[in-house]
Amino acid sequence: MNGRVEITKLSVTIGGASILNEIDLDLEPGSWTSVVGPNGAGKSTLLRSIAGLTAASGHVHIDGAEAKGRSRSLQVAYLPQQPVLPPDMGLLDYVLLGRTPHLGAFGAPGHIDYDVVESVIERLDLLGFTGRVMGSLSGGEAQRAALARALCQQAPVLLLDEPTASLDLGHGQAVLELIREVHAADHTTIIMTIHDLTIAGRYADELVLLDGGNIAARGSRADVLTAETLERHYGARVRIFHDESGPIVVPIPGTPGTGDLSGPKE
C-alpha cells in the first residue's frame, strides 16, 4: 500500500460560481493532512473531487496513475460528513458494502471479503453489534460502522470529511484515536477536513488552509495555526497556546470576529 497523491490544477465550478481554483497538492504516501478553512472555502468539494464524486477539471494521480473509473474506487475510500445509513440494514451487510469495488459488476462476496469485514469489525470493536440494524445504533456506533465500511475498501488513500461531526467529545475522540491507530498500522494516506483547529493540529502531519477555493496557507501546525493567519482568513480573534501535543486555539472573549455568517457554501 503506497498512496502518493498528486493533484494538479484541480478546479470546480458549480452554477457559475468558482468553488476550487487550480488546486495543486503533492502528498507523501502515509501522510496525514488536515484541510481547514472557513465555511464555504471548498473543503468538502476538494474531498469529493478527489473521490470523483464532483465534476472537476485538472488531474488527480494516485501512485502515478490517473484516478478514474473503477480503479479510483480501489485507490480512494471516502467517508462523507453525513454518510447514508439505511436504518433497516444490518451492520454486517452495511460494512460489507465497502468490498463492492473489489467484486466487479456481477460479483458476489467470497471468503476473502468476509474475512476482511470480520477483521475490520473486530478492529473497530463492533463485534457486539453485528446482529443490530443501522437504525438502532447510537451516533458514535454508527460513525464507527461507517468508518469500518470505508476501511473495508483497503484503499491506500482515505478521505474523511468532518469525521467527528455531530459526535460528543468522548465519541469524537474515540473515533479520532481509531483513525490514528489505523494510520499507524496501515500507513494509509489520510486527507481529513475538520473545523476544530486544535484537533487539526494535533493529529495531522501537515495542514492545508483553504479560503475562497484557493490554498491560502500550507505547512506544519506551527506555520498555519497562527493568530495572524486565523484572523486574516477566519475573521477570528484567537490566542494560540502550546503544550507538548501541539497548539491550542482559543477565541478571545469580547472580540467579535468578522467572519461571514451567511452559512456554508461547500
Q: Label residue 245 by pLDDT band (50, 70, 90).
A: confident
Query: Distance between CA atoms of 72 and 182, rounded to whole angstroms?
Result: 21
d(CA 37, CA 35): 7
The CATH class, in words, for 5-251 is alpha beta
Quick one: pLDDT band at residue 1, thresholds 50, 70, 90? low
Mean pLDDT, the chain, whole residue set: 91
Q: Measured between alpha carbons, how far is 227 from 91 in angstroms, rounded to an integer?
A: 44
Domain ranges of the chain: 5-251
User: For 255-261, which contacts have Cβ atoms below 8 Å and span 24 or more sequence positions?
Assistant: 257/231, 259/38, 259/39, 259/234, 259/235, 260/38, 260/39, 260/40, 260/235
Digit-coded pLDDT (tens) for 82-107? 899 999 999 999 999 999 988 866 67
